[in-house]
Amino acid sequence: MNDLVPELDNFQQKIDDEQRIEPKDWMPEKYRLNLIRQMSQHAHSEVIGMQPEGNWISSAPSLYRKIVLLSKVQDEAGHGLYLYSATETLGITRAEMNARLQSGESKYASIFNYPSLTWADVGAIGWLVDGAAIVNQVSLQRTSYGPYARAMIRICKEESFHQRQGYDIMVKLAEGSPAQREMAQDAINRWWWPSLMMFGPHDSDSVNSQQSMKWKIKRQSNDELRQKFVDQTVQQCEILKLELPDPDLRWNEERQHYDFGEIDWDEFYQVIKGNGHCNRDRIKHHVKAHKEGAWVREAMTAYAGKKAQRKDAA
């Protein structure tokens, strides 16, 4: 054990000096496993997150909205792909990660277990869910693992378009007919609290946080990031002249931040545990596509094999 100490010191020193850890560098096993957990969960979230919005591609209310939504959902597939590739640098395959997702061993953002019920949900998801994701991802651009940090930089560029298209949907609904406004308010009512939950438990209750901060996998705490999100979102909601469903929300002059009410952590843990509307549907959808595509993937592999063989023979 002792002979590991210089390496560990060296590793921590690099991190303290804000240097990036690269795939070939020595790293503690716990750091590697922690990253695999966090990065694969992040990749799964991109992919599972395609479903609630993908649900509305076929019935988007205008050609323009259909095209914008489709390209947004396509981006999420791309994010999943970069993140799986970045995670593979830690010595795990995409197939293994897929299997862990499908068995439930590996998680995805629990917010995608909520159903997207109306067109306004597409707006609310883009505005609030992508909005919350951006706050987190901007912070992760400075994460200590090189491939993860670089994936975040690429992804963040596209995320701001996602949030804008979501907010733009909300603007149009808010300026629209009474039924459209009502639809928008209803979506905000359902997505606001789950968006706040996306940042995870309070710092005092967060199990993985301290070590992750020391290794600079996480750069800012859950509560700091959540506050940042609330502060930016309240003002955006005021422009819409719609309401966030929190009677305790108010500006705190002293803190220079918005105060907000207590999150229903019981609901948070209930949904994670499997008591959300869509926990089963999301995995079922993923498994179905994967199974139905098995023969295609096998054929592609077989063809590549034949082609290589013919090349050798020639």
Partner 1 sequence: MTEPDNLSTYVLRLADDAMVLGQRISEWTSNSPNLEEDIANSNVALDYLGRARMLYAYAATMLNTTEDDLAFMRDARQYTNLLMHELPKGDYAFSTVRQFFIDSFDVLYFEQLIHSGDAQLAAIAAKTFKECQYHVRRSRDLMVRLGDGTDESNSRMQTALDELWGYRHELFMDDELETELQQQGVAITRADLQPKWDAAIQDCLTEATLSIPEADWTVSGGRAGVHSEHLGHMLDDMQCLHRSHPGVTW
Sole binder of partner 1 in the list 205, 299, 308, 309 (CB under 8 A): 299
Sole binder of Fe ion in the list 42, 44, 65, 79 (CB under 5 A): 79
| Contact status: 59 vs partner 1 (CB under 8 A) | yes
| Contact status: 119 vs partner 1 (CB under 8 A) | yes
Of 29-37, 53-61, 138-146, 188-196, the window that binds partner 1 (rule: CB under 8 A) is 53-61
Could you tell me the smallest distance in angstroms from the CB atom of residue 261 to partner 1? 32
User: Number of residues in contact with partner 1, rule: CB under 8 A?
Assistant: 49
Comparison of 4 and 304: residue with beta carbon closer to partner 1: 304
| Contact status: 245 vs partner 1 (CB under 8 A) | no
Of 61-69, 201-209, 232-240, 259-267, the window that binds partner 1 (rule: CB under 8 A) is 61-69
Sole binder of Fe ion in the list 53, 121, 130, 246 (CB under 5 A): 130
| Contact status: 65 vs partner 1 (CB under 8 A) | yes
* Among Fe ion, partner 1, none, partner that 2 touches (CB below 5 to 8 angstroms by kind): none
| Contact status: 308 vs partner 1 (CB under 8 A) | no
Q: 176, 109 in Cβ contact below 8 A?
A: no
| Contact status: 138 vs partner 1 (CB under 8 A) | no
